[in-house]
Amino acid sequence: MNLDLDDLDLGWLYRQKQLKLREIHSSRATFKEIQISELLDPSEFIQPNTVVLSVGIAFANHPQKLKNWAQKLADAGVQAIGFGSGLTFPEVPQELVDATLEHNLGLFEVPREIPFISITSAVQKEQSRRAGRRQQELLIEQEKLNSIAITGGLAALCQYTATTIGAAIAIVDSDGRIACSIPHSGLSAVPQAQAHLDGGSQAINHEGQMGILQRMTRFGDRHHMFSAVMRTRPSDQHRALIRHCAGLSDILLQRPHAMRTRETDLKTLAMSLLLRRTDHAPNVREIFHDVTDALGQVRPVVISGTRAQAVNKTLNHAASQLEDHDRALSHLILHDTPEPAVLVFLRGSRTVKTTMELFGNTISEVRICIGLPTQIEKITPALIQELVSQAVLLKLGTFSEPREASAMWLRNPAIQQALDARAQQTYDRLIDNDDVYGTELAPTLVCFAQSGGHLGETAQKLGIHRHTVRTRMERIAEICELNLSDPLTRAELLLIVATRGH
């Protein structure tokens, strides 16, 4: 974005001590840029509101022509002249001193040791600094407009913009109906908008008033025109804020259309489900776009408990947490479950930690089963039933992570009974042996099973010598009557250990 340059006063330039400038004629004039010229008549190339630097090469033999030169610069809108001494002239010529005084131009001397580029660089650096500050101020104002648009709506948005830039603002539809009108200092932007309903975005200067029109998005055969009118020329920052306000207004005016579209999709989906006609149902991912992550995934979570009140308390806490971040909770009360239960859809990108943070300290009377991130199209009744089955096996006040789900089948009563019987023949024998003889065979078996049957890793975890582990494992094989070199036996022992609470 090319923002307007600030007006710099000559006093600022003289205060740059490193430039060693000597003021000859004081002036309260301001300038925007520095230009260097050695032409006899530079007026064709000179911009208004500038300071011109020169060493007077063109006047080396004709100093009397400096008077005419100064007049041409004054007519071109130059505010001051910086004359470099010590090269063409040992000092600033008196002819130039008299001419600048006559034409009310500022005049200062630039010592020979100071290159002109030092002056132009100082000015450019200051203009860049000020432009950066204005850009930051503009971003802050745009963020304010965003916030006001969300919390206050169309009228509040236009009112704040009108006050900030000092302009009247109006929004009129293609039929001339006023959607919003904010007058300012006796000005109204409605007539300008109504007079240009079929026009495009443009700037208008009429009878001392500056107008800006922004044509907004067309919907069908309708569109809106955003109009701003002010008494002074709008700055680039003002124009940027007007465009931003018009864009936000466009979104706010489209919202009813978007909401109607969403409502239509939901009703179509409901009718399709009612008639069991999924071939005409809207795209499920689009319906759930507020819940799915960038990959189209959701994280299913089942909350269950012995009391419906406890489940609702946890659910309401999560809803409140999401509402604070301007998000809505997607949930479904589950029926035909062993106890009160509810299904919640969270974004697939949400971690287990942040999922549990949603529920806070309300989980003491509920069980929470957290599923893996899953494509929304792959969420099935069977998957949800599996989560429900896993949830009811948990203790109240606890939760299961997705990585624990693979072992949840071990809690099946029939499987648990078989593992208990096998444990009596193996693991429990070791516990009895340890109690009688003071050995540590049971802990050694646990570590061996969890280490994948690696003696070295087992020894490292237990902090004992590898030979000691080998001796213990031989004794374990003898007591339990096992072949520990058999992979199936080691797998069986791992399952037994897992169901013993290790």
Is 271 a member of any domain? no
Residue 232 sits in a domain of what CATH number? 3.30.450.30
Q: How many domains does the chain have?
A: 4
Reported as a single tens digit per residue, the pLDDT across 456-478 is: 999 998 999 999 999 999 999 99
Tokens representing 135 are: 């850009």
Q: Which of 162-171, 388-397, 422-431 has the lowest mean pLDDT?
A: 388-397
Is 349 a member of any domain? yes
**Burial classification of residue 406, based on how many CB atoms lie within 10 Å of its CB (0-12 exposed, 13-18 middle, 19 or more buried):** exposed
- Residue that finishes a domain, picked among 381, 408, 435: 408
Q: Does the predicted model carry a pTM greater than 0.85?
A: no
> What residue numbers bound the domain in which 334 lies?
288-408
Residues 6+ apart with CB under 8 A from 383: 300, 371, 374
Dihedral-angle region of residue 249 (phi above 0 means left; psi in -120 to 50 means alpha; beta otherwise): alpha
- Residue that finishes a domain, picked among 353, 375, 408: 408
Is 262 a member of any domain? no
- Residue that finishes a domain, picked among 114, 146, 169: 114
Residue 15 sits in a domain of what CATH number? 3.40.1390.20
Q: What percent of the chain has pLDDT over 70?
A: 90
| Judgement on whether residues 104 and 143 belong to the same structural domain of the protein | no
Residue 354 sits in a domain of what CATH number? 3.30.70
As a whole number, mean pLDDT of residues 167-190 equals 91
Is 181 a member of any domain? yes
| Judgement on whether residues 424 and 402 belong to the same structural domain of the protein | no
As a whole number, mean pLDDT of residues 203-215 equals 86
Q: What percent of the chain has pLDDT over 90?
A: 50
The whole-number pLDDT of residue 1 equals: 36
DSSP letter for each residue of 435-463: HHH---HHHHHHHHHHTTT-HHHHHHHHT
